[in-house]
Amino acid sequence: MQSSVLTAPATDEPIIDPDRFGEPDPGMGKLTEEVVAGLPAYLQPWVGAGIAIVVAFVVTWVGAAVVNRVLRRKPLLRDDIKRARWPLFLLLSCIGTLGSFAVTAPESEWRGSVDFLLLATMIAAFAWLVTVLLHLVESILLSKYRSEQSVDARHMAKLRTQVSLLRRVVVAAVLVFAVAGILLLIPEVRALGAGILASAGLISVIAGMAVQSTLSNVFAGLQLAFTDALRVDDTVVIEGSRGNVEEITLTYVVVKLIDDTRMILPSTYFTTTPFRNYSRGTDDVSGGIEIELTWKAPVELLRKRLEDTVAANQAWDGRDASLAVSDAKGGLMTVFIWLTARNAGDLWNLQNSVREELLRTLQEQHPDALPEPVIRGGGA
């Protein structure tokens, strides 16, 4: 039995019917007719197309120059506008060329194939232009909030994360619709699509199983952005390593470690695995260090040395710096030092400076307070 769904009916009609796109603009159509009226018939379509391309070029670059003049004090926005010139020029050229061919070659045999190529290019150029404009909208939003004095760094990082992820989602949707729009221009593909829709249930199950992991990461990325659990520039500890969140995408997170290497983790890692975030809720952070000493260690001297060290260190925010003996057993005592700082980076530097200074003081003045090193793996 032959299937009437998957087979396109034979037809001599062109792939694209120019009449369904409406009449060409009367002003441009009349201008084109007047310019090409005295030319040979075979040259008229291409001269008309050349006129359309020249007009598109002038409109695009004059418009870009005007916008650059208006945004002369905003170089970031000017760069985004500059990237929009080529897709806009391509889009206007395709529209003008379609209208020119409708006037100069309304019944030519090659119109079907050429119109298809122009329409496909026009859809691709439109998707390209939308992508660039979305990046421009993102830059405008971020520059607006960045200029406001009331917006703190934490709120700015949250906003940048959410806007960036939203832009990526919309760009992905635009690309999908663009590809679908190009395919729907061909009647044979539309007929094949009807057959595919008949088995959409089976295909959706297979596709769901194939992209289950990817979709999980996509939804995990959105969850991270809009629950404020993680933001760009947050300081985190993952897999025993400390670093700063450098980029959050729909499927993965890039963390820059303190040795300048990057750890790339799937978004689901941060929704299923506990991790330490030093920047969650506030930029002010606190943390402690522990030092094991003998019972001969001068606690008061260490406490005084701690006060002098943090007072001279710019990384300390002045909130708290305390020292206490937290444990004492087996001939050793544990000295716990609690420190505060403005951010995780300052806290890290402050902890290292205090530890080094206290150990240097003990080595020089009270070496008997330092326990004997434990030799591991040794034998008689």
Does the residue 377 lie in any domain? no
- Say how far apart CA 162 and CA 232 lie, in whole Å: 10
- Say how far apart CA 323 and CA 308 lie, in whole Å: 13
- Say how far apart CA 354 and CA 341 lie, in whole Å: 13
Q: What is the pLDDT of residues 338-354, one digit of tens each?
A: 898 887 778 888 999 99
Longest alpha-carbon distance in the chain: 108
Statement to judge: residues 201 and 180 lie in one domain? yes
Rounded to the nearest 10 degrees, what angle do helices 200-210 and 187-198 cross at? 80
What's the confidence (pLDDT) of residue 201? 45
Q: What is the pLDDT of residues 94-119, one digit of tens each?
A: 888 887 777 777 777 777 788 888 88
CB 319 within 8 A of CB 284: yes
Name the domain count of the chain.
3
**What order do you get walking across the sheet with 285-294 strand by strand?**
285-294, 332-341, 316-329
Q: Is residue 8 left, alpha or beta, with left meaning phi > 0 and alpha meaning psi from -120 to 50?
A: beta
Statement to judge: residues 164 and 93 lie in one domain? no
Rg of the chain over CA atoms, in angstroms?
Answer: 34
Contacts of 105 (CB under 8 A, 6+ apart): 44, 45, 111
- Say how far apart CA 192 and CA 9 lie, in whole Å: 12
| Helices H / strands E in the chain, number of each | 12, 8
What's the confidence (pLDDT) of residue 37? 57
Q: What is the pLDDT of residues 133-163, one digit of tens each?
A: 888 888 777 776 665 544 556 666 667 777 7
Average pLDDT value for residue range 357-380: 78
Statement to judge: residues 127 and 25 lie in one domain? yes
Closest-CA residue to 145 (of 129, 134, 161, 133): 161
* Residue showing tokens 């050349």: 50
Which tokens is 4 given?
A: 């009437």
Statement to judge: residues 250 and 303 lie in one domain? no
CB 159 within 8 A of CB 195: no
Q: 243 is in which domain, residue-wise?
A: 151-282
Total number of residues shown for the chain: 380
Residue that finishes a domain, picked among 234, 263, 282: 282
Q: What does the angle CA 38 – CA 41 – CA 43 come to, to the nearest 5 degrees?
A: 85
Residue that finishes a domain, picked among 113, 147, 181: 147
What's the confidence (pLDDT) of residue 64? 81
Taking 60 as the threshold, does the pLDDT of residue 326 lie above it?
A: yes
What's the confidence (pLDDT) of residue 24? 45
Taking 60 as the threshold, does the pLDDT of residue 25 lie above it?
A: no
Can you name the residues that pair with 341 across neighbouring β-strands? Answer: 285, 316
The tally of CA atoms less than 13 A away on the side-chain side of residue 322 is 6
Statement to judge: residues 24 and 120 lie in one domain? yes
Statement to judge: residues 306 and 200 lie in one domain? no
Statement to judge: residues 168 and 289 lie in one domain? no
Q: What does the angle CA 80 – CA 255 – CA 313 come to, to the nearest 5 degrees?
A: 100
Average pLDDT value for residue range 178-200: 61
Statement to judge: residues 193 and 204 lie in one domain? yes
- Say how far apart CA 316 and CA 228 lie, in whole Å: 27
Residue that finishes a domain, picked among 234, 260, 282: 282
Buried b (16+ CB within 10 A) or exposed e, 240-277: eebbbbeebebbbbbbeeeeeeebeebbbbbbeeeeeb
| DSSP element (H, E) containing 335 | strand 332-341
316 backbone dihedrals φ, ψ, rounded to 5°: -80, 135
